[in-house]
Amino acid sequence: MTIAVSGKGGTGKTTVAALIIRELMRDGPVLAVDADPNSNLGEQLGMDVEETVGDIREEVIEREIPPGMTKDRYMELRLQETLVEGESVDLLTMGRPEGPGCYCYPNYLLRAFLDKLVGNYKHVVVDNEAGMEHLSRRTTRDLDWLLVVSDPSVASLKAALRIRELSEKLKLGIRKKGLVLNRTDGGLSPLQEEWVERTGL
């Protein structure tokens, strides 16, 4: 099963992703992917991250590739080294580039590496960055579930609606989409209930 967790910043995406991962570990193995540049999924899972995909981007820009290796082969080797292995779960962390420049290349690397990795795992859970960039970069595609995490505020529910609409427009091969309503005491105002309905999730 492949699950991506998305939503507006501050809604609890990483906590929801970590809870899902912990549950799926009973049925593992699980590949956990922290695709948020503000990485903290490792902390939630109790796993120490020493190196990220963003670190590798900086390394490739600033250093020469070892003789006799193609750039793609070197990148694959280095990405394999960033994988933190645990019991029933492995963690790949996106991180962020330290210097200036486009973040598209690390996303391309992550996507290509994930395509090779996913066959080794029963489940894959991706904790995405806030907003919708992960959709347009197509790091979120070919999923069993896209879970959009929202708090009960209208602003957050509007963001959930926009994420659902963009995912459909881009035809990303997402089989099911769901809304996780977080930070609620169980009661919703009529306006909040209306917006929950309008998300179409």
Q: Taking 90 as the threshold, does the pLDDT of residue 88 lie above it?
A: yes
What's the pLDDT tens digit per position in 44-75? 999 999 988 878 877 776 777 788 887 778 87
At the top level of CATH, the class of 2-198 is alpha beta
Average pLDDT, the chain: 85
Listed residue (91, 89, 83, 114) closest to 27, CA to CA:
89
Task: Kindly tell me the sign of the dihedral angle through the C-alpha atoms of 8, 11, 15, 20.
Answer: negative
- Planar angle of CA 66, 71, 73, nearest 5 degrees: 90
- pLDDT grade for 192, boundaries at 50, 70 and 90: very high
User: Using the 8-state DSSP alphabet, how is residue 129 labeled?
Assistant: P
The share of the chain scoring above pLDDT 90, in percent, equals: 50
The share of the chain scoring above pLDDT 70, in percent, equals: 87
8-12, 109-113, 141-145: the lowest-pLDDT one: 109-113
Q: What is the pLDDT of residue 21?
A: 97
Q: What is the pLDDT of residue 41?
A: 95
Gap between the Cα atoms of 20 and 98, Å rounded: 30
- Count CB-CB contacts under 10 A for residue 126: 26
Q: Taking 60 as the threshold, does the pLDDT of residue 136 lie above it?
A: no
Q: What is the pLDDT of residue 124?
A: 93
Using alpha carbons, list the distances in angstroms from residue 55 to 67, 98, 132, 157, 193.
21, 8, 23, 34, 43
What's the pLDDT tens digit per position in 73-84? 887 888 888 999
Using alpha carbons, list the distances in angstroms from residue 107 to 19, 25, 128, 135, 180.
25, 26, 11, 11, 26
pTM equals 0.86
Gap between the Cα atoms of 24 and 32, Å rounded: 10
Mean pLDDT of 104-127: 78
Mean pLDDT of 145-172: 92
Whether 95 and 52 have beta carbons less than 8 Å apart is answered as: yes
Gap between the Cα atoms of 60 and 121, Å rounded: 28
Q: Taking 60 as the threshold, does the pLDDT of residue 139 lie above it?
A: no
Q: What is the pLDDT of residue 172?
A: 82
